[in-house]
Amino acid sequence: MSVVTPPRAGRREWIGLVVLMLPTLLIVMDLTVLHLAVPHLSAELQPSSAQLLWIVDIYGFMIAGSLITMGTLGDRIGRRRLLLIGAAAFGAASAIAAFSTSAGMLIGTRALLGVAGATLMPSTLSLIRNMFLDPRQRTIAIGIWVSGFSAGSAIGPLVGGFLLEHFWWGSVFLLGVPVMGVLLVAGSLLLPEYRDPNPGKFDLLSAVLSLAAVLLMIYGLKQVAQEGVGLIPVLSIVAGVAIGFVFVRRQRSLADPLIDLRLFKVRAFSASLIAYTFGVFAAFGIFLFIAQYLQLVLGLSPLEAGMWSVPGAIASIAGSNLAPVFVRRLRPAYVVAGGMALAAFGLALITQVGLDSLAIIVIGNVIMSFGFGLTFTLTADLVVGTAPPERAGAASAISETGAEFGGALGIAVLGTLGMAVYRSQMLATLPAGIPSEAAAAAQETLGGAVAAAGQLASPLGAEVLNAAHLAFIQGLHLLAAIGAVGFVLLTILTAVLLRHVNTHADSSESAVPELEAQGANTSDSSFEKALRPASAPEK
């Protein structure tokens, strides 16, 4: 039987890739500028600590809950069509968020941004899967696509810092309007349309079940982490797990499920998804604390803090674009595990940060970010490469659901844990003789402590500020230590589970016979293609 070589992408596809990077730029810019804007919007809207966490968290929660539905919907109605609809909705929600007049309004508009954002990521990654059929080109394209996240994290602080120094906090959300406008025009002209030619019936109940399961579990975990074990959080987690169980059972019985669960039986898919999800969980948990350390402990302006974040973003871009080069000579397991080990080392350095440790925080962030770039490019490639082209949207949605769920949960759980350490330390070290209102504000957040210290007389204010800085650093140390241990475990996991995967996912494991031995139905030719190693030619 003759070997069919996959067609190589041409100029149109590479130009289209630039267009597909716009959503990745915007998604990260939106998150990083929000981190910079936290002190400013806190002063203006005066949210409680719970509201502040919801302002940061709800965006990722709604994305995580909606991705599976949006990825499958894109397979059915067309990935480009869904991308353009989402771009228009994201631009409109960004404009509304910019002019929010209360913490509750901002939380609501951030939720709308999350739903709109859920249409963007699976559409872009699945379009890459269809536009770049050659495995080597696809790995390079995904590396460039991942660079968009890093570029956004570099551009966002610079542009956001400039805006925050010259305009009101809401101006940072207006960044989404022109970016989405360019995407609408360029995407209509340059991007091809892809959809599943035989999509089957869309199961609305499955979509509702997936959203409910994710939101209930995240809400319960967030409340437990913030306020301790209670009846309502426990019931929320139990309800989420129960609904998730029903969702999984329903997928097994449907002829056209939202998620083809057989993909999880493929070792490369599952191991890469675990590494991607928990890597993002550990990373995002500490990013918010690093941004606050630069501004509220070191006293840098938003623009200065943004500038010192740029080296980490450049390191991530370098890692994501060097990953395809390294994987030509080394097994993916070695490159992914190496990236995880570098991330662990970078976080270990951050545990040594003190009251004036700009060099340590920047170097640690650079090492950590370079490791992320190596890891996330290859794990995303391995996840999406296992899916057949007609189901690329659903597979991309699983990958991005893992990333968004991990990121949002990392901010919620690790962020709340860090704040719990801060509050306990402040309760023990806060100087006596402080007015009750100032003491309450200082114990609530670091931003509140900085504001309270500025209103107190010189000796007492300096003592409050020093106590707050030390308490915050204790929380930062704990999160960095947890992240370092987590990445060491992920290093071992990926080295073991991906050791049989050769360059470009040419796995030595035989997934189809394994599933046949378990009684799975592998007669579906599309799914056989999904289980075929990404670089194996069709015969």
Question: Of the residues 234, 255, 276, which one is the last residue of a structural domain?
Answer: 255
Q: Do 218 and 168 fall into the same domain?
A: no
> Is 539 part of a structural domain of the chain?
no
Q: Counting beta carbons within 10 angstroms of the beta carbon of residue 484, is it exposed (0 to 12), middle (13 to 18) or buried (19 or more)?
A: buried
What's the whole-model pTM score? 0.73
pLDDT score at 510:
35
Q: Is 210 left (phi over 0), alpha (psi -120 to 50) or beta?
A: alpha
Helical spans, DSSP H, in 430-457: 436-444, 446-455
> Is 120 part of a structural domain of the chain?
yes
Q: Do 18 and 48 fall into the same domain?
A: yes
Q: State the DSSP code for 3.
A: P
> Are the CB atoms for 20 and 179 separated by under 8 Å?
no
pLDDT score at 529:
40
What is the spatial distance between Cα 149 and Cα 284, in angstroms, rounded to a whole number?
Answer: 13
Q: Do 376 and 518 fall into the same domain?
A: yes
> Is 536 part of a structural domain of the chain?
no
> Are the CB atoms for 371 and 279 separated by under 8 Å?
no
pLDDT score at 361:
92
Q: Do 173 and 236 fall into the same domain?
A: no
pLDDT score at 508:
36
> What CATH number has the domain bearing residue 112?
1.20.1250.20
Question: Of the residues 211, 228, 255, which one is the last residue of a structural domain?
Answer: 255
pLDDT score at 225:
57
Tally of domains in the chain: 2
Q: Do 236 and 261 fall into the same domain?
A: no
Q: State the DSSP code for 456.
A: S
Q: Do 319 and 457 fall into the same domain?
A: yes
Q: Do 130 and 244 fall into the same domain?
A: no
> Is 219 part of a structural domain of the chain?
yes
Q: Do 41 and 162 fall into the same domain?
A: yes
pLDDT score at 246:
92
pLDDT score at 239:
92
Q: Do 138 and 231 fall into the same domain?
A: no
Structural domain containing residue 238: 203-255
> Is 5 part of a structural domain of the chain?
no
> Is 537 part of a structural domain of the chain?
no
φ, ψ of residue 509 to 5 degrees: the values are -80, 145
State whether residue 502 is helix, strand or coil.
coil
Which residues contact residue 387 at a Cβ distance below 8 angstroms, ignoring those fewer than 6 apart?
Answer: 129, 263, 394, 395, 396, 530
> Is 524 part of a structural domain of the chain?
yes
Q: Do 275 and 381 fall into the same domain?
A: yes
Q: Do 309 and 350 fall into the same domain?
A: yes
Q: Do 246 and 279 fall into the same domain?
A: no
Across the chain, which has 539 residues, the per-10-residue mean pLDDT values are: 62 83 79 73 74 77 78 78 88 86 84 85 79 79 82 75 78 82 84 73 82 80 66 86 90 78 76 83 80 84 79 87 85 88 93 89 92 85 70 69 72 77 82 76 78 77 83 89 90 84 48 40 39 36
What is the spatial distance between Cα 184 and Cα 188, in angstroms, rounded to a whole number?
Answer: 6
Question: Of the residues 255, 285, 319, which one is the last residue of a structural domain?
Answer: 255
pLDDT score at 518:
41
Q: State the DSSP code for 9.
A: P
> Are the CB atoms for 333 and 494 separated by under 8 Å?
yes
Token pair listed for 22: 């716009």
> Are the CB atoms for 493 and 282 separated by under 8 Å?
no
pLDDT score at 6:
67
> Is 99 part of a structural domain of the chain?
yes
Please give the angle made by the CA atoms of 204, 209 and 212, to the nearest 5 degrees.
Answer: 125
